[in-house]
Amino acid sequence: MPTAFVGYYQHYQSMTSKKDDPTQANTADSKLEKDIGEAIVMLRRQAHMTQEDLAGAAEIDRSYLSEIENGRKNISIRVLDKIARALKTDITDFFKTPPSVG
């Protein structure tokens, strides 16, 4: 096997073994989900909307929105776009570093 392929294969194996191991959570993904959720909460509050208001405007279930805001759901771009449109904001605003939501 060519050396470059062996290195890639070993790297891939180490990545997939951690991914498949439930004790090795992917913290980068978890942080991204939490950051997006915090951004949604911040923008929703700035718009003076309740979860019920935003969920209705975005045509998603309120409990699903709650899970998203709490960083417990990995959402699609399509849903993120629906939320952005309901908040009358740009989808890129969800990827800016949000302040801590209290």
User: Can you say whether residue 61 is alpha, beta or left, with left for phi > 0 and alpha for psi between -120 and 50 degrees?
Assistant: beta
Per residue in 46-55, pLDDT (tens digit) is 999 999 999 9
pLDDT score at 17: 47
Task: Domain count for the chain, please give it.
Answer: 1
Q: Do the domain assignments include residue 61?
A: yes
DSSP string, 41-94: HHHHHHTT--HHHHHHHHTS-HHHHHHHHTT-----HHHHHHHHHHHTS-GGGG
Q: Is the pTM of this model over 0.75?
A: no
CATH number where 87 lies: 1.10.260.40
Range of the domain at 66: 31-102
Per residue in 4-19, pLDDT (tens digit) is 434 444 544 554 444 4
